[in-house]
């Protein structure tokens, strides 16, 4: 698992959900002193980390499969 991918997507999730929380406050959907203003970015941090971990696992599995296929196709019988 690539830690950089997990951390990067977690930070992107934090910023995305932070801007969503700011928009909800500016449009009057939630009050500024609501606890949701603090929880929404933290939820984005967790969601981003989970998505980054899933993407990292999928990429590593794809690399393992392509390496195995490369070994099989490049080996010549003696």
* pLDDT value of residue 63: 65
Residue for token pair 């993407």:
55
* pLDDT value of residue 68: 57
Residue for token pair 């010549």:
76
Residue 75 belongs to some domain of the structure: no
| Structural domain range at position 24 | 3-69
Number of domains in the chain: 1
Cα distance between the two ends of the chain: 37
Q: 39 and 14 in contact (C-beta within 8 Å)?
A: no
Residue 29 DSSP one-character state? S
Residues lower than pLDDT 50 in the chain: none
* pLDDT value of residue 56: 84
Residue 74 belongs to some domain of the structure: no
pTM for the model:
0.72
């Amino acid at each position: 698992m690539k830690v950089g991918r997990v951390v990067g997507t977690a930070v992107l999730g934090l910023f995305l959900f932070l801007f969503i929380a700011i928009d909800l406050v500016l449009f009057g959907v939630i009050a500024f002193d609501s606890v949701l203003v603090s929880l929404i970015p933290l939820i984005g941090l967790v969601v981003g980390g989970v998505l980054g971990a899933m993407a990292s696992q999928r990429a590593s599995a794809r690399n393992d499969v392509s390496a195995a296929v490369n070994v099989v196709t490049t080996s010549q019988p003696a």
